[in-house]
Amino acid sequence: MRRQTKVLTATTAVALSVALSIASFGVAADERSQSYPFWSYDIGVGSGYSSAEGSFAEGQAALNTHFTSWLNWRNAGFYRSYSDRDNFYGLDTSLLAGGGTRLNDQVGIAFEAGGGYRFTSVREHAPFAEAALRGSVGDVRVRANVKYLFYEAVGDERENEVIFSVSVSGRTAGRF
């Protein structure tokens, strides 16, 4: 039964991410021609499992500040939903480094990794490490992300967690 719940949660997360991606399409921009800094945003969903608290789903909306072609400050507001525990919300802030390449004018691939800190409405704050692989075809981007939360590092009674997520967005950007 647990495996079915995990598969259903992951499937629901991907389907919801695709549906939410419609809201994240905006002005098309090409990162190669951007002056720095610039910002971009995305909307996505993820799922995870904790042996202490069961499976959960998370929705997120992120604002990314690109300082250079390889350095990104990501701030993602999120909402976590459980079936048998109080839901909560918060902010993940992280500094990510990475790189990528364009395969042609329409297709690109990128990788980024780094660390950050999670602030929550239920005071279960924790540092985390994350890594993401992003692909783009035309104006559509898909970002697969894994995040590891180090609750035990701050003496929290919660066990460490892993979150898998998928974000879909347009190639959105703005200058400031």
Q: How many Å apart are CA 65 and CA 36, to the nearest integer?
A: 9
pLDDT at 171: 58
Average the pLDDT over each of 1-10, 35-44, 138-147 and give the range with the smallest value.
1-10
Q: How many Å apart are CA 145 and CA 142, to the nearest integer?
A: 10
Q: Is the pLDDT of residue 166 over 80?
A: yes
Angle subtended at Cα 91 by Cα 46 and Cα 120, rounded to the nearest 5 degrees: 95
Q: Is the pLDDT of residue 8 over 70?
A: no
The residue ranking higher by pLDDT, 162 or 6, is: 162
Distances (CA, A) of 106 to 4, 35, 87, 103, 141: 37, 20, 40, 8, 11
* Predicted confidence band of residue 40 (pLDDT cuts 50, 70, 90): confident
Q: Is the pLDDT of residue 29 over 50?
A: no
* Predicted confidence band of residue 39 (pLDDT cuts 50, 70, 90): confident
For 48-91, write each residue's pLDDT tens digit: 877 667 889 999 999 999 999 899 999 999 999 998 888 999 99
Domains of the chain: 2-175 (2.40.160.20)
pLDDT at 125: 94
The residue ranking higher by pLDDT, 51 or 101, is: 101
pTM: 0.76
User: Are 45 and 166 spatial neighbours (Cβ–Cβ below 8 Å)?
Assistant: yes
| Mean pLDDT taken over the chain | 80
Q: Is the pLDDT of residue 10 over 50?
A: no
pLDDT at 34: 65
Q: How many Å apart are CA 151 and CA 154, to the nearest integer?
A: 6
